[in-house]
Structure 1
């Protein structure tokens, strides 16, 4: 158990706050991981259950399901190895993940920034504390609006005011934005990284199953955000120091010479407020980058299409078989159209059959002359000339069969 430095007011306030935040983040990231990964802990039992379930499902797949290919088997073995390394091996996890997330951003910043930003000796936290001490000293000295001499012929007086903020108010807000921007951004980035590192034993188990693989991807993206955020915040603070340090040195020197600096409060307020907003905006922008789903991809064109960008109508080549899968709405519309055509064809066939069997002779009779129709009605029908009109009985049959 390490003892983090206590926060005291005074000259080393900002430095103690930064060291305390780093100490708490290191304690949460390292000791939290070791507490969750030790045998018998809740996370260890959960990981054991997840591994057992994964092996059981793989065995059932071998027995009853489709036989997995060699690629699937190798992929599953790699997943088990990665999970065991991340969840239960602290030396490997510290080398591969922990040190990269915690110490990697500082090395990257040292390599990419301009040498002029690191020209002074000392750590970044020490330089931030020195700038804060200079701001406090300048606030105590004041602007010299009423008591100081004019600089370069400028006039000072009680009636002069560049903005609605008074000198003491502007100095106070300037230092507040300076401290709040630094501490707020460091708390967000460092605590997020420490919490994700501590939850690594639980996050590693999410890689085993398809349904929970998105949680593991989110864990990786969170670590990526913390790394990118640390780099961005360090760069922004170095640029802010490159502006504040010479400005504070010049303002302090002018006041020590007895001259007035009436514009210094608003300048300090503008610098500190702008960089505080820039730090938060940088974290938001990097979060959008880290949690992006992927690069925008355009649909692939089939081979044989014309490549002229100025031709609005492009036809596929006749040698290329372009298969277009219709949508569900198009399939439903085609089915309805087929049914309607079938019904229309059925109605048309019924009408034609009816006209042939019943309606045709009537039309022909109506077209003939009236005398010819009457003669045909009086003539007997074919086969009815000698047809019996009275029903025969058995007595007639017996009389016919008796000999004469």
Structure 2
């Protein structure tokens, strides 16, 4: 496709058509060049498919046979990659037309119901007409013809007329001198810059992303590179939403500027002053430039929330496997705690019965041997519980009679 150049008589419309044509050409011709058999992307795709099949084979040799869900998802990925990376017909229907022509169709449905100018077609031509109207208004100026007030001031018998004429002339020319030459040019400059930058950015970015589509589609094969494919899809979604928001904003701007500029031109053709219009046009141009910037930022932020279904399934499987591992680890720890920690009541009773049985069996064996008497006595001494010890201070019985020594008894007898 040969895109038309920029025309001097219709600068804005020709620039927007050139950007749109370049976006479509880059997206179509770039994809076909990368999807060809001898291209580097084709060789990369062949190598990635070979590596994937080899990895699946080695996993099966090592005993890791994929289940039904994993096998079906793998074959689905391979089919999608081959279909979208090698077939222009499939790629155009599923991705190319949706990204480049889908926003215009959505805008036609929404803007047609809302009566947005240019929503059903012809927006570029109407933007060019607005640019030409601003150029014509800048050429005509914003002040009226002061000839009539000057002639009236020279009427005979009117002594206060020169002062009134001077003040009227100052009122007519002072706003034009301060705001006219600068604000009208600045308003047109901002209008052209915001319109071309916003429209061309979303279209050219979409065309470039569509051109390198086969490269990013190949990254869908592996888990480690799937995030690159997901990022590419997010960028396409952001470009599509951005194109929709930009065209909608430009349609609203057309609804404001078209009748306003028509009225200003009619007043200038009638030689009426429009001294306040220069600043007002500058303010409107700045406001819509900021609105376009905010619309692009919100479109990019909205596209960040996009997630692929395959990625969601993979994350769900990972979370499920992690939860199963956690539950198995917790059950193992519980069993270890029960067996190696504090024994339960049943285990204590069983251990006591086993100890008693072993003691009785040992005693029977020792009684049947010649030296069993000594062993029996020692065993009995060990098994016999020690006597109860009396509390401190109560080991001896208290005497009920006083103690009398032998010498005192002899003294009593002598006496």
**Higher Cα radius of gyration:** 2
* Counterpart for residue 288 of structure 2: 275
* Counterpart for residue 98 of structure 1: 96
Q: Contact 2:27 / 2:209 at 8 angstroms: preserved in 1?
A: yes
Deviations 1:38-88 (A, max 9, x none): 001101000111111111111112221421111111110100011011110
Q: 1:190 aligns with which of 203, 211, 214?
A: 203
Alignment map for 1:182-261 (pairs within 5 Å)? 182-261=195-274
* Counterpart for residue 129 of structure 1: 128
Change (3 A) 1:162 1:69: farther
The residue matched to 1:166 in structure 2 has which SS? helix
Alignment map for 1:5-404 (pairs within 5 Å)? 5-9=4-8, 11-113=9-111, 114-118=113-117, 123-144=122-143, 147=146, 157-158=169-170, 166-292=179-305
Q: Contact 2:145 / 2:271 at 8 angstroms: preserved in 1?
A: no
Q: Give the Cα separation in 1 of the matches to 2:296 and 2:188.
A: 21
The residue matched to 1:117 in structure 2 has which SS? coil
Q: Shift of the alpha carbon at 1:147?
A: 3.3
Q: Contact 1:33 / 1:199 at 8 angstroms: preserved in 2?
A: yes
Structure 1 window deviating more from structure 2 (117-126 vs 18-27): it is 117-126
Q: Contact 1:146 / 1:157 at 8 angstroms: preserved in 2?
A: no
Q: Give the Cα separation in 1 of the matches to 2:110 and 2:195.
A: 21
Change (3 A) 1:170 1:212: same
Q: Give the Cα separation in 2 of the matches to 1:66 and 1:158.
A: 91
How many residues are matched? 311
Change (3 A) 1:182 1:91: same
Change (3 A) 1:36 1:143: same
Change (3 A) 1:263 1:91: same
Q: Shift of the alpha carbon at 1:163?
A: 11
Q: Shift of the alpha carbon at 1:120?
A: 9.4
Q: Shift of the alpha carbon at 1:162?
A: 6.5
Deviations 1:186-243 (A, max 9, x none): 1210111011101111101111111111111111111101110111011000000000
Q: Which has the higher helix share?
A: 2
Change (3 A) 1:163 1:274: farther
Q: Give the Cα separation in 2 of the matches to 1:43 and 1:64.
A: 32
Q: Contact 2:13 / 2:127 at 8 angstroms: preserved in 1?
A: yes
The residue matched to 1:272 in structure 2 has which SS? helix
Q: Contact 2:116 / 2:252 at 8 angstroms: preserved in 1?
A: yes
Deviations 1:162-189 (A, max 9, x none): 7995211000110011100111011210
Change (3 A) 1:210 1:241: same
Runs of 4+ residues deviating >4 angstroms: 119-122, 159-165
**TM norm structure 2:** 0.67
**TM norm structure 1:** 0.69
> Which structure 2 residue ranges, 5 or more long, are not aligned?
150-166, 308-326, 331-340, 342-391, 393-415
Q: Shift of the alpha carbon at 1:118?
A: 3.6
Q: Contact 2:108 / 2:120 at 8 angstroms: preserved in 1?
A: no
